[in-house]
Amino acid sequence: MIIDADVHISPVATGGNSIFIEDLITRMDYAGVQKAVTWLQPPYDRDIKRSNEYVYKASKNYPDRILGFGWADPNLGKDHAIDMVKRSIYDYGFYGVKLNGAQNEFYIDDEKVFPVIEEIVKAGKIVAFHIGGDSPEHTHPFRMAKIAKAFPDTPMLMVHMGGAHFHDFGNAAIEFAQQCPNITIVGSTIRSHPLLKAITTLGAERVCFASDTPFEFMHVEVARYNSLLANVIPEDEKALIMAGNIERLFGIASHENTLKKNKVSV
C-alpha cells in the first residue's frame, strides 16, 4: 500500500502543471499509488469554494482513491475562511483543512488565523500547514510550533518540512517537530538529506511519503523514497512512512490490515 500525502487538483487549467482528477488517477496508477491526500491546486482565482467542491466531487467519484482535504484562506476574511472550514468538514466530510501562508501571503500564527484553526480543532479534524522555504517569514517551523503547542491534542501535518525551495530549513523543521509530538511531517518537495534525518531523528512514525503532484512526478518520488529507504530502515517502518501513518491519522484501514485483523490470509 502506498498513500501519497500531498497532491493537488484543479477544476480549471491554471498553467502548465495543473491537472484534473482524471490525470491524477492516471498518475497514481502509473506510480503504483493506491490513495492520495488531495487538496486544491493554487492559484485558484480566489474561488476556493469552487476548488474545494471539485476536490469533494473527486472524493465521491473515486472514494477508494481520494482522501479529500479542505483549504481556507484567512485573507478573504474570517467569516469566509470559517465557512470554508465548516463546508469542508460538515458538508464534504473532509479529513481536515490546509492553510498555506506562502501561497496566500499570511503569517500562519497571526491572531486572525487562530479562529480558523480553532474551528478545525473544535471539529476534531487535522490541521495542515504549508511550511516552506518559498516564504520563510510566513511559514517558518517556529510559527507552526507555537500553534501545535497551543493545541497539543490536535494532529497537525507539516507539509514540505521547510522545503519547496532550494534553500530549505529542514533542520529547523526537525528541531521544532521534536518539541511537538502532535506534528507529523509530510515529506514532499524536500531534499533527501533532511528527509532522511527527519526519519532517523523523529522516527518512522512521524514522517509520511508525499510527492507534491503535479509539481513533482509522483512515480519519480516513489522511486526516490524506495531508493532512499532501502537497507536503512526495516520494512515495517517503511510501511508506516509509505501509508501506515496516514491510515492511523485519518482513521482508515488498508485492505491488508483488515485481512490481518480478521485473520484471513492474503
φ/ψ (deg, to 5) at 194: -65, -30
pTM (2 d.p.)? 0.92
Q: How many CB atoms lie within 10 A of CB 139?
A: 29
The residues near 117 (Cβ < 8 Å, ≥ 6 apart) are 99, 127, 147, 151
Each residue's pLDDT, cut to its tens digit, for the chain (266 residues) gives 999 999 999 998 876 688 999 999 999 999 999 999 999 987 655 678 999 999 999 999 999 999 999 999 998 999 999 999 999 999 999 999 999 988 888 999 999 999 999 999 999 999 999 998 888 889 999 999 999 999 999 999 999 998 877 667 889 999 999 999 999 999 999 999 999 999 999 999 999 999 999 999 999 999 999 999 999 999 999 999 999 999 999 999 764 443 344 333 32
**Residue type for position 115:** P
Closest CA to 85 of 72, 66, 101, 69: 72
Q: What helix, strand, coil percent values describe the chain, rounded to 5?
A: 45, 15, 35
Secondary structure of 62-109 in HEC code, one letter for each residue? CCCCEEECEECCHHHCHHHHHHHHHHHHHHCCCCEEEECCCCCCCCCC
Bridge partner residues of 9 (DSSP): 40
For residues 78, 129, 41, 162, the Cα torsion angle rounded to the nearest 10 degrees is 140
